[in-house]
Amino acid sequence: MSASRDASRGRPRRGAASTDVVVACESITLLALGSVAFRGSRAGSVYFRNRSFPILVSFVYADAVTTPDLASPTTPATRRWWTLGTVAIAQLMVVLDATVVNIALPAAQADLGFSDGDRQWVVTAYSLAFGSLLLLGGRLSDLIGRKLAFLIGLVGFAAASLLGGLSVSFEMLVAARALQGAFAALLAPTALAVLTTTFTIPRERSRAFGVFGAIAGAGGAVGLLLGGFLTEQFDWRWNLTINVVFAAIAFVLALVFVSTAPRQGPRPQLDIPGTLLASAGLFALVFGFSRAESDGWDAPMTWGSLLASGVLLVGFVFWQRATKHPLLPLPVVVDRNRGASFLSVMITGAGMFGVFLFVTYYFQLSLAYTPMQTGVAFLPMIVMLVIAAQLSTNLLLPRLGPKILVPTGMLLAAAAMVLFTRLDVDSSYFDALPALLVLGFGMGTIMPAAIQTATLGVDRRYAGVSSAMVNTSQQVGGSIGTALLNTLAATALTDYVAANQPASKAVLADAAVHSYTVAYWWSAAFFTAGAIIAAVLFRRKRFSVASAFHSETADAPALAH
C-alpha cells in the first residue's frame, strides 16, 4: 500500500528502480539546478519543487525498461553550437544593416548625386520592407521548414546586398535596400526559430540566448563601428557588399549543421487575408512614424498613415479570432509573460535606437569624431552588454525570473540616460563613458531575458511566427522611438535658438547639445515606464518544461532519446 500510495503521488519508493518512470531527456537536466523534491502528480505530469521555481515535467510509464542516457540531447552538442554560430552571423547581418548604411550615406549621396530630402529613403526602404513583412516571414518559415527558409533568406539577402553595392542610381539603391529588408524579414525570425527549436536543454538554452540577446542589443553599435571602418578605409559600397561574405559563410555552415525537423501533422495553410492585413497595417505604421520624423505629426500623410494602420491592425486581430488557420495564433501573444516580453522588447527598441542616434550625433558633431572613432567609442558599451547578457541568462534569469530581471535592466538603462544628460559642449569622452557602461549592462540584462521568455514554451509549429513577433516588437519600437525623439529634439533645438538670439556658432552648438539632453530625458522616461509596466505584467509562474519542449518530446517516443 505504501509503495502504491507513493507512486500515485509521483514520489519514488525508497530504493525503487530508476526504470519506473521514463522522463524526457531534455527535462531531467534541470534536476541539477537545485535541491528538488516531488510535489505530486497530475494528468501524466510530475511537479518538482526547485529552490527558484516549480518545474513541470512530462512522463510516461514503462514496465521494466532500462532508461537511456538522459543527458543525451536530441542534436549532438557540437552540432548545436555550430548552429548557434550560424544563427549569430545571420542575426548580426540583419541588425547591423539597420545602422551600418547610416555612416555611408554622405559618401553614397556624393557618389550617386541624390538630394538631402531623398537620403532618408535609403534607410526607410529597408525598415518599411522589414517591419511590414516580419510576420509573413516568420509564418513562411513554419510552412516551408526553417532550414529551407533560412537558406533562402541568406541567398536573397546576399543578392540584394550585392545589388546595392553595385548601384549606379538612387532608384537602384533604394530598390536594393527594400529587397534587403524583405529577405531580412524572412531571415531574422527564422534564425530565432532555429535557435528556439535547437536548444532545448535549459542550461545550454540560457547560454545560446545570452549570445543571441547580446547580438540583438549590440548589433546597432557594431554597425556604426563596421560602417565607419569600411567607409574610411575602403568605399561606401563595402557596407553593403560585405554581407555577401557573411552570408556565404552562414550558408555553408547552415547546409552542414542546421537540422531539418520532420513535419508533424498536415501541412498548415497560409492565411492570405491575415497576411495582407498585417503587412499593410505594419507598413502604414512604420511609414507613418517615418513621415512624422520628416514632415511633422500634423502632416496629413503622417496621421492618415497612423490612422490607417490602426484600422488595419484592429481588423487583423478580429480576423485572427475568426479564421481556422491564423497567421498569428492569438494564444502566442496573449500569454501574459510572453506579451510582457514583446512589450519590453518594443520599449527597449524605442529607447535604444534613439540613444544610438543622439549619442552618435554628440560624438561626431560635438566631439568632432570621425565615423570610425564613433564606432570605437561604443566598444566599452558592447563589451559590458555581452558580459551582462551571459550573467543574466546563465545566473540571474533562472534565479530571479523576468519579473525582477527585466525591470532592473530598464531602471539601469534609465539611469544611463540620466547620466547622459550631464554632457555639455565642454565634456569629453570620459564623461560619457560611465553612461555607456551602465547602458550596456542594462541592455544586456533586458534583451536576452525578454527574448528567451518570449520564445519559451511556444509550440514548434508556431516558433517562426513567435520569433517574428520579437523582431516586429523591436522594429516598431525603434520606429516609434526614433520618430518621437527626433521630433522632441528638433522642437527643443528650435525653441533654444529662438530664446538665445542672435544665433551665433556657440549658441547653435549649445542648442544641439540641449536637444540631445531633451531626448535623453525622454528616453529615461521610456525606460522608467517600461520598468513599471514590466514589473506589473510579468508574473512569477511555473516554468513548464513539458510545454517548453513539447515539440521535442512529441517528435519521437521517449525511449528514442
3-state secondary structure of 55: strand
337-354 tens-digit pLDDT: 888 888 888 888 888 776
Residues 86 and 257: their CA atoms lie apart, in Å, by 8
Residues 439 and 416: their CA atoms lie apart, in Å, by 5
Q: Residue 303's CB: how many other CB atoms inside 10 A? A: 15
Instruction: Output the pLDDT for position 383.
Output: 87
Number of H helices, E strands in the chain: 21, 5
The series of mean pLDDT values per 10 residues for the chain, 561 residues long, is 44 40 32 35 38 34 31 60 86 78 79 75 82 83 85 94 92 92 89 80 75 70 79 86 91 86 64 86 84 79 90 89 80 80 86 77 86 84 86 81 90 95 92 94 87 75 73 80 82 88 85 91 92 87 42 33 29
Q: Residue 455's CB: how many other CB atoms inside 10 A? A: 25
**Nearest alpha carbon to residue 243 among 145, 143, 100:** 100
DSSP state at residue 262: P
Instruction: Output the pLDDT for position 265.
Output: 57
Residues 379 and 387: their CA atoms lie apart, in Å, by 13
What percent of the chain is predicted at pLDDT more than 90?
17
The pTM of this model reads 0.70
**Radius of gyration of the CA atoms of the chain, in A:** 25
Instruction: Output the pLDDT for position 75.
Output: 55
**Nearest alpha carbon to residue 351 among 129, 210, 528, 510:** 528
Going by their DSSP bridges, the two strands 543-544 and 37-42 should be labelled as unpaired
Instruction: Output the pLDDT for position 466.
Output: 72
Give the DSSP H or E segment for 39: strand 37-42
DSSP state at residue 325: S
The contacts of residue 43 (CB under 8 Å, 6+ apart) are: none
Instruction: Residues 77-259+327-545: name the CATH superfamily.
Output: MFS general substrate transporter like domains (1.20.1250.20)
What are the Cα distances from residue 41, in Å, to 9, 57, 125? 5, 10, 54
Instruction: Output the pLDDT for position 264.
Output: 59
**Nearest alpha carbon to residue 24 among 549, 439, 437, 419:** 549
Q: Give the dihedral sign, CA 337/343/345/351.
A: negative
**In sequence order, what are the beta bridge partners of 54?**
49
Name the residue with cell 561574405: 245
Instruction: Output the pLDDT for position 117.
Output: 62
The contacts of residue 560 (CB under 8 Å, 6+ apart) are: none
Contact 361, 420 (CB under 8 A): no
Greatest extent of the chain over all pairs of C-alpha atoms, in Å: 94
Give the DSSP H or E segment for 22: strand 21-23
